[in-house]
Chain A
Amino acid sequence: MSRWIRIRDGRGRDARVRMEPAHRRGRPKLQTPDGRGVEAARFIRSPLARTYAAQRSRCPDDAELAELLIEEDPEIDFEATGRRTGPTDRVLLDPDGDVLYAAAEVEVVCDRDGIETDRRLPADTPANVDGESPLVWTGRMLPGPEAARRFAFSRALQLRHVDGLTHDFLFGMARELDEAGALVLVGAGPGGREPIRLERNGAPHRGFLEGRVDGERHLLVLHLTNLELTVPAEVTL
């Protein structure tokens, strides 16, 4: 399913066109060695009231807990264990195991060693690909081979025209990039300095446009990355 994107070319003209994500194939189906299909099914091992933590809260004393486990088998629910869960709904539990009907959210920031460095109220960040301001062609070109060896492009979107005018617009960009043999950095906000967010509160990415032409046909792809191929001490992105 394609979506709208507003983008500005190297000559300062902007247009609203469609962007189509790469088709994701998903995981291949699993099968038995002799080629028969299998179905994944979820079963109950033990419900919340039978977990170790629940038994521990009943019996803080080790010896008492051991006796309880031997005498009463409280960790096994003979009615529930082995049952298929069937369809379920997602709920949130507080640390006491009670269902929450309204939960707040905090944003937890951790460094690369997993140590929490900040905790704050999360702020909503809108998507910025189809707003009032177009994505901007920054003019910063990166040769294709260098881009491919430097970044991991984890998302790709093909920009598609919707009529003759937008075809000429996209074709012009693709031809310019094809002739340059380079990708151009595009971004949001003034000067294209801000990262691209495809969805509200979505992950920010840097975007590079790649263009190819063949006769009257063109291919214009927006490659998105948030990961540089480097080791931790050399991060520059």
Chain B
Amino acid sequence: MERTLEVACGGTASSFTVRELSRATLYGTKRRVPVDAEGRPCQAAALTRDGRFLLPAGTTATLYLDDRGDAVERGDLRAARWGTDGAPEAEPHVAEAADLLDCVVRKVYALVPVAVSGRLDELLAATGICRLGCDDSGGKVRFLVKNAAGYFLMIGEPSAFRLVGPDQADLSVPDAGEAWDDLDLAML
């Protein structure tokens, strides 16, 4: 089933069909596969610590248990919000390139326009980038990008980098700040 993205903007609605964009869909894949002595591909499995059970893919199931030990359906669960930045924003708005560069992109989707409102295209004409706000799980930011190739949806997380001054050197360097009284010159 095709997934769609609906964007409400200034009382108008736009919709796109969504397809995930990845290196596999653009360029193909290159992966390392474990093989046995005859060159046949092998599969990974889990071995219980008591050595009794070999569990390849498909032989286990994950359940979510609440504090009483009862199983809860995955569909009934919700993501705990990260904080105030998880609040959804009602309207898309123009974003600058710096806003997008301040995020690390986690997912990219190619969008095929079904109906694009004039209002949304006006917003995209400014910088080519619109911020759609945070998703339900909070913390993630969605950008609608338009370039010569088409429309794209990018989902990212803020990188949270800060400007640093001369007195904010990275002191996590190994050996930095260690005492000098353990230099054993006698052994030289």
Q: Footprint of B on A, CB under 8 Å?
A: 1-2, 17-18, 20, 22-25, 27-33, 36-49, 51, 80, 85-95, 97, 99-100, 103-112, 114, 117, 122, 144-145, 147-150, 152-156, 158, 160-164, 166-167, 171, 210, 212-214, 216-219, 221, 223, 226-232, 234-235
In the complex, the answer to whether A162 meets B170 with C-beta atoms within 8 Å is: yes
* 7 A-B contact pairs sorted by A residue (CB < 8 Å): A92-B45, A111-B28, A155-B104, A156-B161, A167-B166, A171-B166, A231-B149
Specify which chain A residues have a CB less than 8 angstroms from the CB of B162 in the assembled complex. Answer: 219
Q: B183: CB under 8 A from chain A?
A: no
Produce 1/0 per residue, B105-123, CB < 8 A to A: 1101010000000000000
Nearest B-chain residue to A160, judged by Cβ? B170
B35 nearest CB across to chain A (Å): 5
Specify which chain A residues have a CB less than 8 angstroms from the CB of B27 in the assembled complex. Answer: 112, 235
Contact (A47, B129) CB under 8 Å given A27-B137, A93-B42, A149-B147 = no
Specify which chain A residues have a CB less than 8 angstroms from the CB of B22 in the assembled complex. Answer: 227
Main secondary structure of the interface of B (DSSP, over half): mixed
In the complex, the answer to whether A230 meets B149 with C-beta atoms within 8 Å is: yes
In the complex, the answer to whether A89 meets B59 with C-beta atoms within 8 Å is: no
Specify which chain A residues have a CB less than 8 angstroms from the CB of B31 in the assembled complex. Answer: 107-108, 110
- The CA-CA distance from A223 to B165 in the complex, in Å, is 21
Specify which chain A residues have a CB less than 8 angstroms from the CB of B54 in the assembled complex. Answer: 47-49, 91, 93, 97, 99
In the complex, the answer to whether B43 meets A93 with C-beta atoms within 8 Å is: yes
Contact (A90, B44) CB under 8 Å given A164-B166, A228-B26 = yes
In the complex, the answer to whether B163 meets A212 with C-beta atoms within 8 Å is: yes
Specify which chain B residues have a CB less than 8 angstroms from the CB of A111 in the assembled complex. Answer: 28
Instruction: Count contacts between A and B, CB distance < 8 Å.
Output: 291
A-facing residues in B47-69 (Cβ within 8 Å): 47-49, 52-56, 58-67
Produce 1/0 per residue, B70-97, CB < 8 A to A: 0010001111111000000000000011
A16 nearest CB across to chain B (Å): 10
- The CA-CA distance from A51 to B67 in the complex, in Å, is 32
In the complex, the answer to whether A28 meets B55 with C-beta atoms within 8 Å is: no
In the complex, the answer to whether A232 meets B67 with C-beta atoms within 8 Å is: no
In the complex, the answer to whether B45 meets A48 with C-beta atoms within 8 Å is: yes
Contact (A107, B32) CB under 8 Å given A152-B108, A235-B26 = yes
In the complex, the answer to whether B160 meets A23 with C-beta atoms within 8 Å is: yes
- The CA-CA distance from A31 to B74 in the complex, in Å, is 10
